[in-house]
Amino acid sequence: MEKHFNFSNAHKDLIARDAEHVLGWRYAPGIVFEQGRGSTIIDVDGNEYLDFTSGMMCLPLGHAHEELTETLREQAGRFLHENSWYSNPQLIDFAEAITATLPDGLDVVNFTVTGSEANEVAMRMALGASGKHDIISVIRGLHGGSLAVEGLTSIGGARRRNLGPLLAPASAPAIHAPLCWRCPINLDYPSCGVACLAASEDLIDQTTSSEAAAVIA
């Protein structure tokens, strides 16, 4: 497959250095990107690609969005970090902008740095607030790489190997994804009658205490 890409020697060298010194999951062939604009992303050889993944699903505004870039530049000129025991006007404005979109009663934002951390905090809140210990996830659901959320990630095989039981304070049963494109029970919508939902309810009945602290999807 790599031969279709015609990478320069400099690009191949970067791919080799990445493999040697950076720990991370990589698709094959590895591609080293240099910059992006909108939905286009460009590798170190200048090849352009359409980025259908919005980065890691979190760049729906596209790469190098002008207003966002300018806002980041301005804020970097003030400070990038002060101290999480104090506050700043931008933080308060952002929290209010988010809570304005949420249903009544969801009035407080806990800012975290990664998806794994956000899910860890959410799990901790669900356990603490409910006093219950089942956190139900969806089969093939991925929630991050820290140990507790890895315990909820219901992808088998190499990802779980050598790790042992991960989610000590909670159990992590999983239900089917309502995924019509690749139906988990090999039926077709709509004649299936959404049978995956009944199957999932049965899984909850049979594999949990019927007292879920949370469902994560």
Smallest separation (angstroms) from ligand PLP to the CB of 116: 3
Min dist CB 58 to ligand PLP, Å, is 8
Pick the closer one to ligand PLP by CB: 43 or 150.
150
CA 28 – CA 209 distance, rounded (Å): 42
Q: Is 174 helix (H, G, I), strand (E, B) or coil?
A: strand
Q: Which residues contact 199 (CB under 8 A, 6 or more apart)?
A: 175, 176, 184, 185
Would you say 71 or 114 has its CB closer to ligand PLP?
114
CB of 56 to ligand PLP, least distance (A): 6
Rounded distance, CA 45 to CA 34, Å?
9
Minimum separation from the CB atom of position 80 to ligand PLP (A):
18
Q: Which is nearer to ligand PLP, 86 or 181 (CB)?
A: 181
- Residue the block writes with tokens 């062939």: 29
Q: How far is the CB of 130 from ligand PLP (least distance, A)?
A: 21
Among 167, 170, 178, 171, residue whose Cα is nearest residue 200: 178
First to last CA, the chain: 34
Residue 45 Cβ, how far from ligand PLP at the closest point, in Å? 26
Residue with Cβ nearer ligand PLP (144 or 173): 144
State which residue has the least CB distance to ligand PLP. Answer: 115
Applying CB under 6 A, the residues found at the interface with ligand PLP are 56, 114-116, 119, 142-145
29 preceded by cis ω (within 30°)?
yes
Residue closer to ligand PLP (CB basis): 11 or 184: 184
Which class for 167: exposed (0-12), middle (13-18), buried (19 or more C-beta within 10 A)? middle
CB 95 within 8 A of CB 102: no
What CA–CA distance (Å, rounded) separates 169 from 58?
30
Q: Toward ligand PLP, which CB reaches closer, 54 or 71?
A: 54
